[in-house]
Amino acid sequence: MAKFSLDDADDDPPVATARDKRKRDDGPADAEDEPPRARGSAVAGHEPAAPGAEAEAAGRRGPAEEMANGEVEGGLSVQIDPDVLDCSICFESLRPPLYQCQNGHVACFSCWSKLSNKCHICSRDAKFARNIALEKIVESIKSSCSYAKWGCCKFINYAQRDAHEEACLFAPSVCPISNCGYRGFTGRWSGHFLTSHSSDVVRFIYGQPFEVNIEVSVPFLVFFGEDDHLFLLQNNNLTPFGHAFSVVCLRSGNLNWMFSYQIEATSRKKPENRLQLKASVTNTRQWTGIYPSEAFLLVPFDFCHSSNIVLNISIERYAVV
pLDDT digits (tens, 9 = 90+) for 221-236: 999 888 878 899 999 9
- What does the alpha-carbon distance between residue 124 and residue 185 come to, in Å, rounded to a whole number? 49
The H or E element containing residue 237 is strand 230-238
Q: Is the pLDDT of residue 141 over 70?
A: yes
CATH number of the domain that residue 232 is part of = 2.60.210.10
The H or E element containing residue 233 is strand 230-238
Q: Which domain holds residue 112?
A: 83-130
- Poorest-pLDDT segment among 1-15, 95-109, 148-162, 226-240: 1-15
Mean pLDDT of 135-146: 84
Q: Are residues 105 and 222 in the same domain?
A: no
Give pLDDT, residue 78: 64
Helices (H), the chain: 18-26, 53-61, 63-68, 109-112, 132-140, 161-167, 189-196
Give pLDDT, residue 126: 64
Give pLDDT, residue 317: 93
Residue 218 CA, chain-centre distance (Å), reads: 29
Mean pLDDT of 57-62: 44
Q: Are residues 146 and 284 in the same domain?
A: no
Give pLDDT, residue 306: 76
- What does the alpha-carbon distance between residue 145 and residue 148 come to, in Å, rounded to a whole number? 5
Mean pLDDT of 131-155: 85
Given pLDDT bands bounded at 50, 70 and 90, which one contains residue 280? very high
- What does the alpha-carbon distance between residue 45 and residue 74 come to, in Å, rounded to a whole number? 12
Angle at 36 between CA 35 and CA 42, to 5 degrees: 70
Q: Are residues 20 and 159 in the same domain?
A: yes
Angle at 317 between CA 182 and CA 189, to 5 degrees: 10
- What does the alpha-carbon distance between residue 237 and residue 299 come to, in Å, rounded to a whole number? 10
CATH number of the domain that residue 121 is part of = 3.30.40.10
- Poorest-pLDDT segment among 48-62, 87-101, 186-200: 48-62
Q: Are residues 116 and 238 in the same domain?
A: no
Q: Is the pLDDT of residue 55 over 80?
A: no
pTM for this model (two decimals): 0.57
Average pLDDT, the chain: 74
Q: Are residues 67 and 94 in the same domain?
A: no
Mean pLDDT of 223-252: 87
Exposed, middle or buried, 246 (CB in 10 Å: 0-12/13-18/19+)?
Answer: buried
Q: Are residues 122 and 153 in the same domain?
A: no
